[in-house]
Amino acid sequence: MKLMILRHGQAEPHRGDDASRELTERGREQVAAVCRARATELSEVRAIWASPFVRTQQTAEIASKQLGLPVRTESILVGDTPPGEVLDALASADDFPILLVSHQPLVGSLVNGLCGSGNQHPMGTSSLACLSAEVWADNCAELEWLQHAQ
């Protein structure tokens, strides 16, 4: 099975409610560029799950337009969710490959925890990782590739 994990694009500075921060124009451009760079690989995606925060919804919409798939909002994809909760949700999913769109520290914890790589794989804004595994559990996945924004 494959899982793709995308961190939201660059967002506005924090001015109160973190959940309502929007992508900057540069953030939109970087997400679109990463999606174009990995268009072939992303074409395999069968479902898009995204955090309810505005910037992740906007990021997911960019991917959604390219892939022609709807965005499923998942409240467990906020940044401070324990990775185990996401792994539990993935255990009952049957629509792989899935594209998860979320935040730090969750995206970094998922990529590095699943691969057993410590903090070896940084997830900057607009970074997109592709993992493969038979089961979604710590130390059970392989990082196929990691695309960073330019």
DSSP code at position 11: B
Query: What are the residue boundaries of the structural domains of the chain, listed by start?
Result: 2-12+20-147
DSSP code at position 60: H
Tens of pLDDT, residue by residue, the chain (150 residues): 999 999 999 999 987 889 999 999 999 999 999 999 999 999 999 999 999 999 999 999 999 999 999 999 999 999 899 999 999 999 999 999 999 999 999 999 999 999 999 889 999 999 999 999 999 999 999 999 999 998
pLDDT of residue 15: 79
Q: In this structure, are residues 121 and 93 in contact, taking their beta carbons and an 8 Å threshold?
A: no
Q: In this structure, are residues 8 and 55 in contact, taking their beta carbons and an 8 Å threshold?
A: yes
φ and ψ of 145, to 5 deg: -165, 160
pLDDT of residue 86: 97
CA distance 115 to 128: 15
DSSP code at position 29: H
pLDDT of residue 79: 87
pLDDT of residue 16: 82
Specify the DSSP element, H or E, that contains 109: helix 106-115
- Any idea how long the chain is? 150
pLDDT of residue 126: 98
Look at the block and give the residue holding tokens 């410590």.
Answer: 118
User: Helix or strand or coil: residue 144?
Assistant: strand
DSSP code at position 140: -
Q: CATH number of 2-12+20-147: 3.40.50.1240, 1.10.238.10, 3.40.1110.10, 3.40.50.300?
A: 3.40.50.1240
